[in-house]
Amino acid sequence: MSTGTTPSRSSHGIADQLLVAVVVMCTVLAGSTASAQGRGAGNPGSGTAHSNSGTSSHGHLLPLLPDGTPIEPSTWREESTESTEILDEGRWSWELNLVGGSWDSAQGIDSNALDWLHADVRRGFGRGLQAGVTVESWERDEVREGALAQGVQEAGYGPTTLDVRQRLTGEDAPGPRACIGARVRLPGSLEGPGAHVAEGGAFVPVTFPLGPGTNLGTTLEADVVSDALDTGRHVEGVSSLELAHEFTERLEAHAEVVGVWYGEPGRPLLGVVDTGFSMDPVPHLSITLGAAGGLSGGTIERGWFGRLSVHP
């Protein structure tokens, strides 16, 4: 529900140069981090996994079932369907998540996450091209086994994600809208819950307008991410289908189905169903609440999520 803002023409050149410089610098850093990890440098980690970008975070602490199978909390995949909206040339858009949290439970194992001040900034460059930066300022994750009353916690500043998107359909063309995008994710603090190596991937979202304020969206995504125990990397595939409806300018809701394939031994397929709503009780302030459920290797998991954010 955020909107873009347009700077004066005199600031366009400087802003464009700054954004391009940031993208180039972070891409170089990503390559350096990956190279260092390949030579054996860096933190060996303490059990991490990948998750989709957007409102979720990659590389959080990964709960292990009694048989040792890693299971990913379903709230890491909520709202996985990417938007096909591309900003016009010179337009900016931003959103600041002041605080967010989630809770998941499966077979007596509880996991929860809390994050502060996650910022997302996007810029349109014209001809259907858009670049964005997402900064995860701070987060804390905890996994606890209720029966033993013991848990593991990690906290620190999170990853920074850069993404570039290109529109594939005409701006004013009727019918479905589509774009293609790529992202690179730079690791956060070594003591934090985020992945400790650079990750990246590509995605193709498509949106089908169904009526006033109603859209059906789908996304296909492939990523190269860290293994569950930071022992290497693997390819991961994600597909999603989301039905979203905007009741008013201040109230919208969604229902989504997500499937995840892990190209890693011992990781079963994951299916997630999540639903939620976002509302602006006052201008520029948004509240999002929702629930999610997952099925992985015959294990049922359930969770809740919420966040408070500001936007233009």
pLDDT of residue 129: 97
pLDDT of residue 13: 47
Domain 4-310 has CATH 1.10.1060.10: no
- Number of Cβ within a 10 Å radius of residue 87: 21
Provide the CB-side half-sphere exposure for 98 (13 A, CA).
9
Beta bridge partners of 290: 276, 305
Q: Where are the alpha helices (DSSP H) in 195-266?
A: none
Q: What is the mean pLDDT of each run of 10 residues along the chain (312 residues)?
A: 43 43 40 35 27 42 79 91 95 97 92 95 96 96 76 89 95 90 93 85 97 96 85 90 97 98 89 97 97 93 97 94
pLDDT of residue 62: 81
pLDDT of residue 20: 42
The ranges assigned to domains in the chain are 4-310
Identify whether the C-beta of residue 215 lies closer than 8 Å to the C-beta of residue 241: no
pLDDT of residue 4: 45
Beta bridge partners of 201: 183, 223
What 3-state DSSP class applies to 188? coil
CA-CA distance, 57 to 34, in Å (whole number)?
Answer: 19
